[in-house]
């Protein structure tokens, strides 16, 4: 499970998936990624398609993460009910928003996640009744995305919310919020990352970061970032297509 690996101190690497086919998830697993993020925020994927990608992930030995499209309890519980090992919540800008996200991801007494055991995550009721709810709280991870100026200003309070497994910085939205859209290598973004690393280290929370290329992922791995989200299936496919078309046209 993704959460065990994070707790072991492993550094995890995985792409966003915007294409809604289980084979894409399988290929990501076969290629050796640790996790893949099914992107229902920006991709074309809905929960009814995500579930087959989660099934494929389990077969291919890769951890399925679902990025929901908003900090809404029904989206968060649905992602976990269909079997995501982690839920990733975008655009968190205050302590109370982070608390609401964690609450929606945890069953009582730690949170307020809607309780239902006739779901895939509870093996459609085959899981032990009492054990399922406690186990789900322990095993599933909550990844909070801070990606705006307000969130950055409130980072010291956000990071102390109990139940956050990864504090993830979204450099693209952050760059847009800082008035430098797309300049993800800008010193302001690097300063935000350094601030996050300092605070996260003190709070004992793992950090996540998005990178467009594998070399940057290596750089952040060496700096101690534990959850590296790398590009997206569509961009990686485009790069491979383009590179091969280039080889063909040059001859």
Interacting stretch for Mg ion, rule CB under 5 A, among 10-18, 69-77, 116-124, 173-181? 173-181
Report the residue from 81, 85, 173, 233 that binds ligand 3PY according to the rule CB under 6 A.
Answer: 173
Least gap, CB of 176 to Mg ion (angstroms): 9
Where residue 129 falls (left for φ over 0; alpha for ψ -120 to 50; beta otherwise) is alpha
- Binding partner selected for residue 171 from ligand 3PY, Mg ion, none, CB under the kind-specific 5 to 8 Å limit: ligand 3PY
Residue 172 binds to ligand 3PY (criterion: CB under 6 A): yes
Helix, strand, coil distribution of the chain in percent, nearest 5: 50, 15, 30
Residue 26 binds to ligand 3PY (criterion: CB under 6 A): no
**CB atoms < 10 A from the CB of 244, how many?**
10
- Binding partner selected for residue 165 from ligand 3PY, Mg ion, none, CB under the kind-specific 5 to 8 Å limit: none
Residue 233 binds to ligand 3PY (criterion: CB under 6 A): no
Name the nearest CA neighbour of 147 among 184, 109, 122, 100. Answer: 184
- Binding partner selected for residue 69 from Mg ion, ligand 3PY, none, CB under the kind-specific 5 to 8 Å limit: none
Interacting stretch for Mg ion, rule CB under 5 A, among 30-38, 71-79, 147-155, 222-230? 147-155
Interior angle at CA 172, CA 169 and CA 174, nearest 5: 60
Interacting stretch for ligand 3PY, rule CB under 6 A, among 49-57, 110-118, 135-143, 169-177? 169-177
**Total number of residues that touch ligand 3PY (CB under 6 A):** 7
Spatial distance between the Cα atoms of 172 and 39, rounded to a whole number of angstroms: 15
Mention every residue, 6+ apart, whose C-beta is less than 8 A from residue 52: 22
The enclosing H or E element of 74 equals helix 73-81
Mention every residue, 6+ apart, whose C-beta is less than 8 A from residue 159: 167, 199, 200, 203, 205
Q: Which is nearer to Mg ion, 43 or 83 (CB)?
A: 43
Catalytic amino acids? 42
């Amino acid at each position: 499970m993704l959460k065990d690996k994070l707790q072991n101190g492993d550094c995890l690497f995985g792409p966003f998936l915007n294409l809604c086919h289980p084979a894409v998830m399988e290929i990501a697993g076969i290629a050796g990624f640790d996790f893949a993020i099914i992107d229902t925020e920006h991709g074309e994927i809905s929960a009814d398609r995500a579930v087959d990608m989660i099934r494929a992930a389990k077969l291919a030995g890769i951890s399925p993460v679902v990025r929901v499209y908003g900090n809404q309890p029904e989206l968060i519980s649905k992602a976990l009910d269909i079997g995501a090992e982690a839920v990733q919540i975008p655009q968190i800008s205050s302590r109370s928003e982070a608390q609401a996200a964690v609450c929606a991801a945890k069953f009582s007494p730690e949170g307020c996640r809607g309780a239902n055991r006739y779901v895939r995550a509870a093996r459609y009721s085959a899981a032990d009744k009492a054990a399922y709810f406690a186990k789900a709280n322990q095993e599933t991870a909550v990844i909070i995305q801070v990606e705006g100026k307000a969130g950055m200003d409130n980072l010291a309070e956000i990071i102390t919310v109990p139940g956050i497994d990864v504090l993830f910085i979204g450099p693209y939205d952050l760059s847009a919020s800082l008035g430098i859209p797309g300049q993800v290598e800008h010193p302001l973004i690097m300063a935000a990352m350094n601030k996050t690393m300092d605070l996260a280290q003190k709070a004992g929370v793992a950090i996540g970061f998005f990178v467009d290329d594998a070399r940057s992922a290596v750089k952040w791995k060496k700096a101690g970032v534990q959850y590296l989200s790398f590009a997206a299936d569509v961009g990686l496919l485009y790069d491979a297509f383009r590179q091969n078309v280039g080889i063909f046209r040059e001859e």
